Structure 1
Amino acid sequence: MRRLLIALLVLVGLFVAVDFGAAALAESAVSRQMREQIGLVDDPNVRINGFPFLVQAISGEYSSVDVEATRVRVGQLQELSVRAQLRDVDAPLPMLLGSGPKSLSVRQVEGIVRIPANDVERMVPGIEKLRIENVDDFTLEQAVEEGGDKSLRTIDPENAVRLVGTIELLGQETEVAAIATLDLVDGQAQITPRDVRIGGDDADPLPAAVQRTLQQQFTLRIDPGSLPLAATPTKLRAAGGALEISGYADDLTLGESAVSATG
């Protein structure tokens, strides 16, 4: 009985090793394909979700595949992260690993581009150590109570951001914070400041002329390029210390150098 148990454990270990090895080969093949489809310089990271992999490989159907690339450059932006989740993928294993033309059928793609604080900072002259923070109702109410315009109460926190950084004022580093609305315009991130303070959260509102000058400084239109795999941008938000543009595309065929709708 003990020998049988040991033999079974060895077989299970071999199966797991073979499964992971086959998954790694397939992920490498998909990575090369995605580099071309998304227009990247290097192969992105690819993860085929689900275990065991071989069961999915035999059927050629995969529930989800994650593709991610970091430090992507687009124009002035140097540290973009690009992520795509492919759902319900049809890709026979011989086609993936073979040398012939490759084509993947995908029911839905969610594409995401993340713009980090470092990239936003490069676009705001005179600002250093920029942070991107989420906004909630309390933040907006507090700004109004401390002298901000009452229209701040009408802002949807889901469509807002707080940008915090430092400026040099009279030879000293001073904190500057701007509450701004976020709008998605032609796939680009539009940042429109509504309240700017110097000297911390409890600072008094600035004179109108100074407020206008700083608002102009924080007014930005950021173009991160297209979402991966022809996904249509539908949402812009602050998330995890970055700005995130996301969207979806349905019923795609990903082939050699081409993305097309199949539905």
Structure 2
Amino acid sequence: MSQQRQRRQYGFRGGIGCQQQEIHKPLRSRLFVYVRCLTGVCEIDDRIASFQSVPVNKSSRGPAQGSAGAVAERANFVCRGDLVRKLLAGVLIVLCVATVADFSVAAYAEYRYSRALRAASDLDFDPEVTITGFPFIAQAAGDDYEQIGITARGTDLGEGRRGDLRSRLSGVHRIGGDWVITESTQLRVDEVTGSLKIDSVNLGRFLGIEDLTVTTPAPEDKAGGGGPGDGILSSDKGIVLTGTVNLPDKGNSGHTTAPQRERVSVSADLSVRDGALRIDATSLYSGSADHVESDVADAEVPFVLAQFSQTLPVLPLPWSLRAVSAASQGSDVVVDGEPKPLVVTARDFLPGS
């Protein structure tokens, strides 16, 4: 009995985190505080409140009473800070959900427009469609789109030859219809650009040179030109075409033999004539760009250059744009159309297909 009386007089049992432990302090500093931090909420045991509600003579207040008030104030501060953190976390979650929802709706709209373009133009593959601008939902609700990019890869150019049709629609206004762009949806566009990219393999099929490669040399007056910092080089003059062509028949035998062939590199210029790509080989190439050295007699050079010099048939451009220029881009050749404002539907992307 004396031990229990002494424990009641000089100590109390405290519980923190569901664990109890004996705390010995003077009688005047007894305070049972139970702090529970579950689900991020701090609770102060009711005994603190009852302790604080008892009128205390300020002149007789001891250190233990002052520390009890400090504990309660600290607990309230922690609870307020936790509430702010929860509020910020909630706002971030809402923003993330809204962003994901906006991108999902935009992806669905891009998919539907891609399918409409493929069906209307009889394309072999779904074109890549990118609708820029954020948030997309606000653009769709207002019938206005900042920009729409379209790339139709592997478009059939006839006789097994293919190219990539690319277009950019800037300042797009949807004329009526649903927010999903379909085959019949009219778009009024401030500026429509379009181009056709032909890689070296398909260009070789046009020229009849099966192993043709295209190289865009770096500017000769630029030290270190052609490095990664230059990006994709582009030029319409002095591009390098390399391929295996026939040499002229010397006519020194009386029977027919297979023509002699030689792999050569030539310098060529690109242009557009009456809407068609024109390639003019000007000379054998002997510069610093990647090329092959060949043993071609001077008398044979014109015959060799003629096999690289051709005017291709008029090739289709997006939205029936008129071709106005051509240039190489790295190892590809690009024919650009003349930009202009248009009112279009998906059926106008590749008419006559």
TM-score normalised by length of structure 1: 0.77
Partner in structure 2 of residue 180 of structure 1: 268
Select the residue among 131, 155, 172 that pairs with 1:89.
Answer: 172
Structure 2 distance, partners of 1:113, 1:35, is 17
> What RMSD, in angstroms, separates the aligned Cα atoms of the two structures?
3.3
Task: Provide the C-alpha distance between the structure 2 equivalents of 1:224 and 1:42, rounded to a whole number of angstroms.
Answer: 23
Aligned partner of 1:132 in structure 2 is 214
Q: Aligned pair in 2 of structure 1 residues 131, 185: CA closer, same or farther (>3 Å)?
A: same
Structure 2 residue 286 is matched with structure 1 residue 195: no
Aligned pairs (5 A) from 1:1-263: 1-35=84-118, 38=121, 40-76=123-159, 78-91=161-174, 95-97=178-180, 101-125=184-208, 127-135=209-217, 138=220, 158-166=236-244, 175-196=263-284, 203=293, 206-223=296-313, 225-255=315-345, 257-258=347-348
Contact 1:197 1:206 in 2 (8 A): no
Q: Which runs of 5+ in 1 are unaligned?
A: 140-156
Deviates more, 1:215-224 or 1:202-211: 202-211
Separation in 2 of the partners of 1:175 and 1:91? Answer: 53
After superposition, the Cα gap between the structure-2 partners of 1:112 and 1:256, relative to the gap in structure 1 and judged at 3 Å, is closer
% identical aligned pairs: 24
Q: Which has the higher strand share?
A: 1
Letter in 2 for 1:10: I
Q: Is the 8 A contact 2:193 2:338 kept in 1?
A: yes
- Counterpart CA distance in 2 for 1:65 and 1:28 is 13
Quick one: higher RCO (CA 8 Å, sep 6+), 1 or 2? 1
The 2-side partners of 1:117 and 1:231 are apart by 23
- Cα deviations by residue, 1:124-175 (Å, 9 ceiling, x for unpaired): 44x4542211246639xxxxxxxxxxxxxxxxx6334210235699xx9964
Equivalent pairs, count: 239
How many Å separate the matches in 2 of 1:98 and 1:48? 11
Unpaired runs of at least 5, structure 2: 1-83, 222-234, 248-259
Moved more, 33-42 or 207-216: 33-42
Whole-Å Cα distance in 2 between the matches of residues 10 and 94 of structure 1?
33
State the structure with more CA Rg: 2
The alpha-carbon distance between structure 1 residues 197 and 21, as it changes in their structure 2 partners (threshold 3 A), is closer
Q: Report the Cα distance in structure 2 between the residues aligned to 1:48 and 1:8, rounded to whole angstroms.
A: 27
What is the Cα deviation at residue 218 of structure 1? 1.0
- One-letter code aligned to 1:131: T
Q: C-alpha separation between the residues in 1 aligned to 2:303 and 2:132?
A: 50
- Local SS of the residue matching 2:236: helix
Kindly indicate whether the alpha-carbon contact (under 8 Å) linking 1:38 and 1:228 is maintained by their aligned counterparts in 2. Answer: no
Counterpart AA for 2:332: A
Aligned partners of 1:230 and 1:249 also within 8 Å: no
Contact kept, 8 Å, 1:128 with 1:167, in 2: the verdict is no
Is the contact made by 1:58 and 1:93 (CA closer than 8 Å) also made in structure 2? no
